[in-house]
Amino acid sequence: MSQMEALADAGAVNKDWWRGAVIYQIYPRSYQDSNSDGIGDLAGIVHRLKYIADIGVDAIWISPFFRSPMLDFGYDVSDYRDIDPMFGTLGDFDILLKEAHKLGVKILIDLVLSHSSDQHPWFQESSSSKTNPKADWYVWADAKPDGTPPNNWLSIFGGSAWEWNAERMQYYLHNFLTSQPDLNMHNPQVQQEMLDIVRYWLDRGVDGFRLDTINFYFHDTELRDNPALPVEDRNDTIAPAVNPYNWQDHQYDKNRPENLDFLRKMRAVMDEYPAATMVGEVGDGQYGMEIQAQYTSGTDKVHMCYDFAFLSNSYPSGTRIADVLTRFADVNKDGWACWAFSNHDVTRHATRWNLSEQASKVYAALLLSLRGSVCLYQGEELGLTEAFVPFEDLQDPYGIRFWPNYRGRDGCRTPIPWVADNAHGGFSDAKPWLPVAVEHLDRSVANQQDKPGSMLSFYQNMIGFRSTQPALITGALDLVGHSDAWISLIRTHEAQRLFCAFNLSDQAQDISLPDGSWTSIEGVPFETVTVAKTITLPPYQAFFARDANA
């Protein structure tokens, strides 16, 4: 019996630690450079672990650091079992795991299983002929009689999702860059290889995975055309408005029912380990919440998923938030959500929704009060806005292709400012791979640390408050009331009943409390409001009260 198994038998391991966990996403290229090459690395993360632990988060999700040609900055993997030298070594990763665990912080890594790099040895072999042992490891198809692609499927990065390969005289599928061929998950050998990769990292000590593009794993074997999406149903949730990807109803290139059986196989592997977890990224503009419900229902698939409900450009008024929560409750009866406002693929929400600092605080409080787990993106705790990156400094192929109508993802990926009195913000001694935004320097960690009222102090206090309230971590959620300007809800866990209200506007709002014997809660980083049947909540403030009769 292993040590972990012994601990589990002794009841020392909390298998459900992920429920209500606060997960901090790190984009490693932009966190901390330790070797002065202008690119963040694993050793840099180790150097900053104390800072991360002090925020109060439960886990870190690290974006890909596997060997890669970096055409999509690590989301094009050429070796799933090794670290790219840019980020360090397997030894560096082992140290990161050890030091994070000492601080009580778990580690989730980003697995990209839907596609690999075209430089992966698997693809090199697969593309060499139609009869090699890995010929069927990727999605290959013959051209139509006129030489055009097999069907109308489109790539998220623009253009056809099919690329011609002269060696095999066939097209291969790529839902993203042409250098990211889709793996054929209908092949049992491919599935087994993916499960073996999962085991490899779990055996190394990781606490779980963020699963990239989880709803892209399987394609329709009949290669049927996607139908057109009515104009009124198009949105820019997944791709920018300038991309015709939004014009299709993606019924056949993703979201396939065969994925459920594979997710069950993954869950069976995960359940061999005492407390491993999976959070899946569901990328879909029409069916995201329904897919999220399918993938997290019961106890035999993914532990939790997030869709793009709050990662879109749609402003989160109280009415919209209530609609999202109501819809989620309707379709997701027993699954678990993971909510996020920002990540490495979308414009930072402070800019996307044009939030002031105080507005950002009340929205953060709301995010940390929803039923589900929470993902915070690096720099969110500093109140970072989207950086403007000049065209000549752009790295993201997505932005380069659609500039200037869409600037790509570089603006949310610029390096973290650790100090204000340094041209590179303390991120590196060399020129960074992306420029440090000048406007971010005033929001540096050094400028905010131990400063009452700073955004960083607010996040630390709010996360600390959440950690003391079981109802906020795993309790049930009931909507009480809402308008465009405010929303209120009740969180309940065993004998604890909390009323939470959020003024999302720049005007005071009168908000009624439900029946109960309410007393305000100490330790909340907001103005004190006198408890009454109806409270007047100042602009961009939150209110928390406990029912003494519960």
Residue closest to 108 by CA, chosen among 72, 71, 68, 57: 57
Helix 188-204 vs helix 259-270: angle between axes, to the nearest 10 degrees? Answer: 30
How much is the pLDDT for 333? 85
SS3 of 164, please?
Answer: strand
User: Is residue 14 very low, low, confident or very high in pLDDT (cuts 50, 70, 90)?
Assistant: very high
Question: Which residues of the chain does CATH 2.60.40.1180 include?
Answer: 475-547
Q: Tens digits of per-residue pLDDT, 455-469?
A: 999 999 999 999 999
Residue closest to 44 by CA, chosen among 84, 7, 96: 96
How much is the pLDDT for 74? 97
In 274-381, alpha helices (H): 288-296, 318-331, 349-352, 357-367
Q: Tens digits of per-residue pLDDT, 257-304?
A: 999 999 999 999 999 999 999 999 999 988 999 999 999 999 999 999
Handedness of CA 233, 238, 241, 245 (dihedral sign): negative
How much is the pLDDT for 5? 43
Cα-Cα-Cα-Cα torsion 379, 380, 385, 391, nearest 10 degrees, comes to: 50
Q: Tens digits of per-residue pLDDT, 335-392?
A: 999 999 999 999 999 999 999 999 999 999 999 999 999 999 999 999 999 999 999 9
Instruction: Please enumerate in sequence order all residues whose Cβ is within 8 A of that of 349, keeping only pairs 6 or more positions apart, or say none.
Output: 310, 341, 342, 355, 360, 363, 380
Catalytic positions, written as ranges? 212, 272
Q: Tens digits of per-residue pLDDT, 64-77?
A: 999 999 999 999 99
CATH topology of domain 475-547: Immunoglobulin-like (2.60.40)
Phi-psi region of 531 (alpha: psi -120 to 50; beta: other; left: phi over 0): beta
The count of other CB atoms within 10 Å of the CB of residue 503 is 28
Q: What is the mean pLDDT of residues 157-165?
A: 97
Residue 98 has pLDDT above 90, yes or no: yes
What H or E segment, with its residue span, contains residue 478? strand 476-482
How much is the pLDDT for 417? 98
* Distance (Å, whole) CA 316 – CA 310: 7
Query: Three-state secondary structure along 189-212?
Result: HHHHHHHHHHHHHHHHCCCEEEEC
How much is the pLDDT for 236? 85
Q: What is the pTM of this model?
A: 0.96
**How many residues belong to the chain?**
550
257 and 296 Cβ atoms separated by less than 8 Å: no
Residue 9 has pLDDT above 90, yes or no: no
How much is the pLDDT for 11? 54
Q: In Å, how far are 60, 62, 342 from 208, measured between CA atoms?
A: 10, 11, 21
Residue 63 backbone dihedrals phi, psi, to 5 degrees: -60, 165
Residue in the structure block whose two tokens are 């079981």? 470
Compute the mean pLDDT over every residue in the chain, rounded to the nearest whole number: 95
Residue in the structure block whose two tokens are 């909510």? 339
226-233's contacts with Cβ under 8 Å and 24+ in sequence apart are 226/151, 226/152, 226/153, 226/154, 226/250, 226/251, 226/252, 226/253, 227/251, 229/286, 233/286
The token duo for 398 is 């997505």
Cα-Cα-Cα-Cα torsion 391, 397, 403, 408, nearest 10 degrees, comes to: -90
User: Is residue 523 very low, low, confident or very high in pLDDT (cuts 50, 70, 90)?
Assistant: confident
Q: In Å, how far are 1, 339, 349, 410 from 313, measured between CA atoms?
A: 50, 15, 9, 17
* Distance (Å, whole) CA 76 – CA 63: 12
The token duo for 526 is 């907001």
The token duo for 388 is 């403007």
How much is the pLDDT for 224? 98
Question: Which residues of the chain does CATH 3.20.20.80 include?
Answer: 15-115+188-466
What H or E segment, with its residue span, contains residue 108? strand 106-111
In 394-510, alpha helices (H): 397-402, 445-448, 455-467, 470-474
The token duo for 211 is 């699963």
Strand ranges for 13-96 from DSSP E? 22-26, 59-62, 66-67, 79-83
What H or E segment, with its residue span, contains residue 98? helix 90-102
Residue 243 has pLDDT above 50, yes or no: yes
* CATH class held by domain 15-115+188-466: alpha beta
Residue 1 has pLDDT above 50, yes or no: no
Residue 413 has pLDDT above 80, yes or no: yes
How much is the pLDDT for 549? 87
* Distance (Å, whole) CA 81 – CA 198: 10
